[in-house]
Amino acid sequence: MTEQTAEITPGQFGGVDPAAAGQQLNDKIGLKLVEMTPERVVGTIPVEGNLQPYGLLHGGANATVAEALGSVLAALNAGPERAAMGLELSCTHHRAVRSGTVTGVATPLHVGRGTITSEIVLTDDEGRRTCTARLTCVVRDRPPR
């Protein structure tokens, strides 16, 4: 897979606050979205800068990637007139990562009117699974502006 950053366009997701654009946690961890469709969202983060005290990738970084990719997937499936917000996140950390890049792939498990659940699989540079996560988002009609 070639590294090409996918762009989020204004109006692509319902109810996104433009004032929050420069304050995204995704930017702070170095998340790059490389593919975005309703069937699959892919993103990467560098391990460097996202470590815990023992020199391993922080579990919270895994959770952040999972929540971000699953939320984008849910928003794409919800459509521009609806808002998707995280309801429950579960992460199982399988393997430590000390360097390189972690890639996450989110795919839908359930797409309903009220909830969207996705599975997010994170792998290291060798393609080894490092974390499996499941995110359920609640979907609501976007409030009037």
Q: What is the DSSP letter of 31?
A: -
Q: Is 48 a catalytic residue?
A: no
Contacts of 38 (CB under 8 A, 6+ apart): 73, 76, 77, 108
Distance (Å, whole) CA 130 – CA 106: 14
Q: What is the DSSP letter of 39?
A: T
**Residue tagged active-site, from 3, 35, 67, 126:** 67
Cβ partners under 8 Å of residue 1, min gap 6:
34, 35, 42
Question: Which residues are known catalytic residues?
Answer: 67
